Each structure stands twice: as structure tokens, then as C-alpha cells.
Amino acid sequence: MATDSVQTQTAESHKTRLNFEEAKTLADWVTLINDQNNPPLGENVAAILKFLPSEPVDLPSVLAIFESEELSNKILRMANEAYFNPAESDLSNIKRVMVVLGLRSVRCIGLCMALYTYLLKNSQDDAFMKEIAIALQSTILAGVIAKRKIRSLNCEPLITASLLFPLGKLLFLSFGGANAKKYTEQLAQGSVSDEEEQAIAGFLLKNLTIEISEKWFIGPTLSKAQEANKDDDIVRIIHLARGVIQAMQVGWESSTTEEALREVSSWLAISFQQARQLALEANLRALETSALLSEKLLEYIPLAEEPDSNDNAQSSDTDSSVNASRIAASIQEMAILLGNQKSPSMSEILAIGLRNLRSSLDVDRAVFALLSHDKLSLKAKSIDEIKHTDFFNSFKFDLNASEGWLFNYLLHEQRSCWVGHETEIAINKLRNHSFNVKVGKGSFLITPFILKGNIMGFYYVDRQISSRKLDSSTFQAFKELCITINGFVELIMARERLKK
């Protein structure tokens, strides 16, 4: 009898496994998604789901997953979105995240990143990618709003609920087969009503999200967020953020986007421009995070970008021969001037510096631009160019408007950049029509003008007039020359202070 019982159990455990095409009910889908014998979401997700913070027996193995090359940077990125950090020092490793946010929060964020990573490997369909991008952008905007409104040190429940808000839809689009194709076709026509969704899937996809969230032990926020609730601040933030990002699919300047941003500004009691700046900040950070997950996601971040010029002569990885002696002579000229009894003024040394940048690097024009005191605008103060153009008058940007997004990003990142180079994915995404009208579509080099550790403006050089290539050696020499000029300017300012 005992043998018969074992044989019966074995037979039952090896029944032909339902595939998702055959799943007809919500219960079927929940069972398949949580099948530990044949994990449909990959081994990492399965291992994280088995791990419960209340019973951390598998902590070393799960920690190894979190610290893996595939996941660690993604988890750290989202953990820093979840952490309200007045000191502005990033959480730099997984163990530190565990100490600050707790084991449960690390599990939830790790689960989200493992899930996204696996799904993105297996699906690149347009509807799926758009849904992932909206969830990611919404999550980062929700975090920005939450840190301003509720100032909780740990916003992980909101981050997790926002990332997984469309979980049911993502799973259905990934595994739904022919039914998912019907759903996508319906979605392409505009939207899918609850009745249409029920007819195609056999259930509402938000109910799949709710059921799975309970099975995965990720807290009640995700389930609560499936319905709008203005009395719950966390749920309200999730829906406000999604409303803004969904509106932006129409366009940044659309009336729909303006209406969504005005709702945010009203709720936070800030100006419309401040709300717009919050959305821009979130989208810039979303670009960075998207690049970690999948470069293809960048195509779905709405920033009204305009493609770079197709002229392949604009940039190259092949180094030209930078004239080292000419660069050395340029530095020597400025050093001699500083050694004279009558030291040059700051504007004089900058003018000489621009002339030397243009001549020693063999570029067409060199620009020095200063930021306003409030860091909201940038304007050219000096230019040296091979022939006169109106570029100097055009080189002024409102950093809150689309024309200034690229400089806003560089100010935030505090780094030099070869704009137009194929590796600068996030930067190139910020090129839009209003920016290109002023600067052109070609490549250029830019680096910060820094005084006492603070960015006060930027140096800019290009070869757009002659349509010649930029290259790595020119970029490196440009950065080094500008650092030298910064040092000379600081020396002049120190002398001026001593005179007083």
C-alpha cells in the first residue's frame, strides 16, 4: 500500500505541466507563475521568492545573487531612489543597503530588479517595453515626490509598488501567447477596457498583480495601489506619478502633460515650474537607470529628442595626432603671463585660454559660458572661432526648458562629455530640436568650469564648421587644458583677494 501511495504521488508530481497558452483562469496563472519546479521567471527570481526575511536561512546564497555583477548596480540604483538621504551620500554596497533599509526592503528591491532583468532578456515587444519604461519612470518620479511630501527615510514600499504596479500586464504580455497578441493589437488602437481585458485574458490583469503580490510577501502597498485612493498618500503619489508619465507619452509640451503636472504642483503646494523641474529630474535619472537595464529602454523615455546628424564624419574613435608641443606652448604662454608683474585679469586669461584651446586642439570654435547664480540658465561669455558666426549670440539656455536639459544633466553629473559619441547614450537622448537649433546636430566636447570645487560654467569646443571628426586624444587634451585654465583662474582670483 505504501508503495502504491508513493507511485501515485510521483505520477501526480509529473503530470504534464500546464503551459500559459492553456491557462484559462486567474488561479491557473498564479499557479504557473509560482511553479518552483519549473520557475518561469528564472532561477534568481525563484531563489529570492524562496527567501523570507523572517526565516533568513538562505541569506548567504541570496546575498550572493544581490551582489552579482548582473544585479548589484541595479539594486544600488533603486535603493538610492528609495532612501531619503539628507546627507546626500549614496548607499554604495549591498551590505550597507541591508543595514540602512533592512533585509525586507533589500529583498523587495532585489526581486524587482531580478524580475525586470529576466523579463527584458525574453521580451522586447513594443507594448511590453513601453509598459516597463512607464513603470520605471513613474517609480523614480514617485520617489522624488515622496521625498518632498512625506520625507520618509525608507520609501521602499512605494518604490516596489510602483515598479510592480503593472506586474499582471507585464506577465501577460510576456507569457500570454496568442491572447497577448490580441491584447497588444487592441492596445495599439488606444486603450483596453476592463470588459475587453476580461474577454481576452479571462480575468482582470490587476487581479493577477494582487494575487501574486500576496504570494510573494511584498507587503500590502502594491495591492492597495491597484485602485486610486486620494486618502492614502503613498497610493496618491503612485497614481500622480503614473499620470504625469503617461501624459508625457503625448508630449512634454502637451496640454495633457501640463494638466498632470499642475495636479502635482497643487498637491505639493509648489509652482508649476517646480513641478516640471521635478519631472525633468526624474526623467534624467530614469535615463541612467534604463541604460543599466536595457539600452533599448532609452527609446521609450519621452524627452522630445532629435536624432544626431547622420554625417559619420562628426565623431571617431580613431585618434588624430594632437600637437603636444603646441599644447605645451599654450600652457607656457599663460604661465608666463601670470609671472609678469601686471597679472592678467580673469577675463583676459579666459580669452587667451579659448584662443589656445582652438589653435592647439585644431577645433573650429571654443566657447566659455557661465551659469547664472541660481544655476537655472547658461550663457556664452567669450568665443574664439575660425570664422565669424552668430553662435555666440545663440549660446544661451534655460536649464528648465527642453533646450537646456543636456546642460542640466551635465551639471547634475559634474563631468566632461563627448556629446554625439556612440557610448554617451543618455546624453545623446537629451538632444532635441530646440537644442539643435542653437548648437547644431554635430558632435562637440564639453567640460565644467570649476572654481573652489563648484561648477560655475562650461567650456565647449567643436569642429562643426569644417565638418571634421573629433577623436579620443583631442577629448583627453581638451579636458587637461581646461583643468589647467581653471587652475590659472583660481590663482588670479587668489591674487585679487590678497590685494584687498
Q: How far apart are CA 419 and CA 443, in angstroms?
A: 5
Q: Which of 226-240, 294-308, 420-434 bottoms out in mean pLDDT, i.e. has the lowest?
A: 294-308
Other C-beta atoms lying within 10 Å of the C-beta of residue 434: 16
pLDDT(480) > 60: yes
Question: How do residues 313-340 score in pLDDT, each as one tens digit?
Answer: 444 444 455 677 777 777 787 877 777 7
What is the CATH architecture assignment of 15-300? Orthogonal Bundle (1.10)
As annotated, the residues of the chain forming the CATH 1.10.3210.10 domain(s) are: 15-300
Can you tell me the mean pLDDT for 59-88?
Answer: 86
Q: What's the predicted TM-score (pTM) here? A: 0.71
pLDDT of residue 289: 86
As annotated, the residues of the chain forming the CATH 3.30.450.40 domain(s) are: 312-499
**Higher pLDDT residue, 434 or 198?**
198
pLDDT(484) > 50: yes
pLDDT(257) > 80: yes
Q: What percent of the chain has pLDDT over 70?
A: 90
pLDDT of residue 312: 42
What contacts 219, CB < 8 A, 6 or more positions away? 108, 157, 160, 161, 213
pLDDT of residue 85: 67
Cα angle, residue 359 at apex, residues 439 and 423 outer, rounded to 5°: 45
Q: Nine-digit cell at 405? A: 536639459
Question: How do residues 362-371 score in pLDDT, each as one tens digit?
Answer: 999 999 999 9
pLDDT of residue 80: 87
pLDDT of residue 281: 82
Can you tell me the mean pLDDT for 28-57?
Answer: 88
Which of 117, 124, 127 lies closest to 41, judged by CA? 117
- Per-residue pLDDT band for 308 (boundaries 50, 70, 90) equals very low
Can you tell me the mean pLDDT for 132-150?
Answer: 92
Q: How far apart are CA 307 and CA 297, in angstroms?
A: 16
CATH 3.30.465.10 for domain 312-499: no
Which of 153, 167, 161 lies closest to 235, judged by CA? 161
Residue 274 CA to its chain's centroid (Å): 19
